Structure 1
Amino acid sequence: MEVIMYCYNCGTLIYEDDKFCVKCGSPKEARHEVNIPPTAILRSSRHTNSPQNEPMSDDYSGDLELFVGPQADVYARKWKQGSRWNWPAFLFGGYWMLYRGMYLYLLIYLISEALILNIVGSLFPRFSFSAAMVIVMLLTNLVIKIGLTVVANTIYLHHARRKINAIQERYRNDTETADAKIVLAGETSLYIPIALAVLPILIAFVYGLYSFLHMYNQINQDFPLK
């Protein structure tokens, strides 16, 4: 099948026989009847021979918009304005990094968080547990989360550019393949964050069920029914 365009909504490749975008479901035929976001126009037009449509290394268009996807306008505005606050990062912490596929940064964040919490915890007497310790640990965790929040936009931009540069280096003579790979590299996924969020609940449920059955067996052994 021949590639005829990129989806005006998410930048995914659309083929001649497709009536809808396979990723976001936007109709191909009705693309001129809807409000077209400016980021999508840049995605579809960057393959023309016009010099003004070439991606600019100092701007937040072209490849970065392909990578970020539907939220490209939001992040481009944050980067241009130098915004330091990222609500998803503050509310969801490491889950936001998982959603954005930032696994290396998540690992660094978790290691740093563990080290800081251990250092703060070592300030208290060993095996002691008090309200003061709980408050200090909670405040420390809050400070760590705020620290992540204020650098989230910067590390996401660094992550995007690192991925884009690697793909462009590999497919420097194949623009269409490079663009498709950039879109795939920037895809977000809720499955991993949801799975990791549900996992502790499942573990707690299994452990509670095991404890209940163990206690039930102990009671039957101690007080057998006659």
Structure 2
Amino acid sequence: LFLEKNQLYYMEKFRVIESTGSKVSWNWCSFLISGYWMFYRKMYIQAILYIVANFVLGLIPFIGWIGNIALWICAGLFGNYFYLEHVKKQFCEISCADSSNRSMLIQKRGGTNIVIPIILLIIPVVIGIIIAMFFAALGTMSYYYY
């Protein structure tokens, strides 16, 4: 119930992490779309920290670019481990709840959330359209003044 999607994949990755003690296991989704994947898997704090780190590193010329690539690779290498830790933390908190509320909490805290990643994909597009329209309007207005 908690994992909802790709249960076999994550159960196998979690089993290997637990049995070997290695925190490293590759996750293509966490590598390619790190922040979105974290929001999708309801790892909100980790996602916000990742995005803030990406933003701060982006402010530093050249070194920041290298840091962003390193952060991206680390997300791919440790994504499954971070997700396992998230699952463990959630289950620890859920286990403290009343037994009648546990299944509801598992469904509420677990699973996936596609809404936030989609919204985060749409926002830059909308902002880009608004900015383009603004500059297009400015260009049209300057045409009338000549």
Q: TM-score, normalised by structure 2?
A: 0.85
Distance in 1 (CA, whole Å) between partners of 2:40 and 2:25 is 19
Cα RMSD of the aligned pairs, angstroms, is 1.9
How many residues of Structure 1 are paired with residues of Structure 2 in the alignment?
140
- Pair 1:68-2:8 in alignment: no
Q: Give, in whole Å, the separation in 2 of the partners of 1:94 and 1:202.
A: 19
CA gap of 1:138–1:112, structure 2 versus 1, over 3 A, is closer
**1:144 partner SS:** helix
Q: Identify which of structures 1 and 2 has the higher relative contact order when contacts are C-alpha pairs closer than 8 Å and 6+ apart.
A: 2
Shift of 1:180: 2.5
What letter is aligned with 1:161? Answer: K
Whole-angstrom CA distance in 1 between matches of 2:94 and 2:48? 22
Deviations 1:138-161 (A, max 9, x none): 443221100111111111111111
Out of 107, 117, 128, the position equivalent to 2:48 is 107
The 1-side partners of 2:111 and 2:136 are apart by 43
Structure ranking higher in helix proportion: 2
TM-score normalized by structure 1?
0.57
Aligned to 1:44: none
Structure-2 residue corresponding to 1:50:
none
Going from structure 1 to structure 2, the CA distance change for 1:115 and 1:221 (only over 3 Å counts) comes to: closer
Give the gaps of 5 or more residues in structure 1.
1-65, 122-132
**Is 1:97 matched up with 2:38?**
yes
SS of the equivalent of 2:96 reads: helix
Task: Say which one has the larger Rg.
Answer: 1
5+ residue gaps in structure 2? Answer: 18-23
Q: Secondary structure at the match of 1:166?
A: helix
Aligned to 1:150: 77
For 1:115 and 1:208, the matched residues in 2 are separated by: 26
- Aligned position for 2:96: 169
Once the two structures are superposed, residues 11-56 of structure 1 have per-residue CA deviations (whole angstroms, 9 ceiling, x without a partner) of xxxxxxxxxxxxxxxxxxxxxxxxxxxxxxxxxxxxxxxxxxxxxx
Distance 2:51 2:137 in 1: 35
Q: Conserved in 1, the CA contact under 8 Å of 2:25 and 2:78?
A: yes
What SS does the corresponding residue of 1:170 show, helix, strand or coil? coil
Q: Distance in 1 between the 2:84 and 2:142 partners?
A: 57
Indicate which of 203, 207, 214 corresponds to 2:131.
Answer: 207
Give the Cα separation in 2 of the matches to 1:112 and 1:181: 30
SS at match of 1:203: helix
- SS at structure 1 position matched to 2:2: helix
Query: Could you say if the C-alpha distance between residues 70 and 193 of structure 1 is closer, same or farther in structure 2, counting changes exceeding 3 Å?
Result: closer
Partner of 1:86: 27
CA distance in 2, matches of 1:140, 1:158: 24
